[in-house]
Structure 1
Amino acid sequence: MKENYYIGVLGGANPPEKFLKIAYEVGELLAKNNVTVLCGGLSGVMKEVSKGVKDSGGVVIGILPGYGRGEENQYLSYSITTGIGYARNFLIVRAAESLIAIDGSNGTISEESFAISEGKDVIGIESLELTPTRKREGKYFKAKNAKEAVDLAIESAKNLRERGFKDPLIFDS
């Protein structure tokens, strides 16, 4: 059996149709690679990646912004309510070993920024490219399609594990 990695998938609630198709394919590919997927658990990219994971027999965890159940999409394996609104974006990043950003808006940008600052790589499919500014920050990689994004995300998660994750709050300048 393949190693199990935790990969976050980021993206907006109301993206253009082409990004919904990409999100579904990303979900399928992650599930087929034995990846546990983390997402915001709501609509749009989050819903489609969850559907792709579920349809392929994988596990997807939604980290929800609200206090109660009922707001999450129906494809999640598990949901965690936080009651902290967009601050839940930081929890998604902390729990993931690498992240895939698909299109997105302000929430996605905050997640990408948190990830890079936390020393985790972001693989973007037409998302805002962010530039690391410190030695131990994560990197941003552009992917042309779902397969390339998944391959890069798995490789990034593997590299993070192999080098041993260091607390990103103690930076080497």
Structure 2
Amino acid sequence: MVGVIGAGAASPQGEDWAYEVGRLIALRGAVLVCGGLGGVMAAACRGCVEAGGETLGILPGPEGQAANPWVTHPVVTNMGHARNVIIAHTAQALVAVEGEYGTLSEIAIALKLGRTVAALGGWPGIRGVSYVDSPAAAVDLIFQHL
């Protein structure tokens, strides 16, 4: 299971990157794990599903219907931001695409757990994060460590 984390409101570039990361994850036969909402999460899920993959959305609220349309397996937590811990524990490695403070919390938890984290388009200077310049480089890096 590979996590894709990032902002619920992403830039057009971030959404393009997330879509391609999701597509590449599916082509490698992994399940994509994310927060299940919009922005980076929706774009990654769409790329994954359109390439024949499966997605697991760890939702912050009490309703499965809140998931983006490309979440194949919604997990309702009703835990708000605390669900970020579940995402970091469930994913064996993570790709961070842009992002905000929720993304930063997932990065920190994943690093504390010893997970590989590839960052695309954000979060410079965090010790332990591998910075990449393309979706292919992010996915290649992740799978080298799995």
- Unmatched segments (≥5 aa) in structure 1: 1-5, 132-138, 159-173
User: In structure 1, what residue type is equivalent to 2:132?
Assistant: A
Q: Report which structure shows greater RCO (CA 8 Å, sep ≥6).
A: 2
Q: Deviations over 1:111-141 (max 9, x none)?
A: 001110111111000221422xxxxxxx310
Q: Which residue is equivalent to 1:52? A: 47
Give the alignment partner of residue 137 of structure 2, picking from 148, 165, 172. Answer: 148
Rg larger in 1 or in 2?
A: 1
Give the alignment partner of residue 64 of structure 2, picking from 57, 63, 69. Answer: 69
Q: Which residue is equivalent to 1:101? A: 96
Distance in 2 (alpha carbons) for counterparts of 1:78 and 1:127: 28
Aligned residues with identical type, % of pairs:
32
Bigger fraction of residues in helix: 2
- Unmatched segments (≥5 aa) in structure 2: none
Moved over 2 A (4+): none
The answer to whether residue 13 in structure 2 is matched with residue 18 in structure 1 is: yes
Q: TM-score, normalised by structure 1?
A: 0.82
Distance in 2 (alpha carbons) for counterparts of 1:36 and 1:69: 19
Q: Which residue is equivalent to 1:128? A: 123
SS in 1 for 2:64: coil
Aligned residues: 145
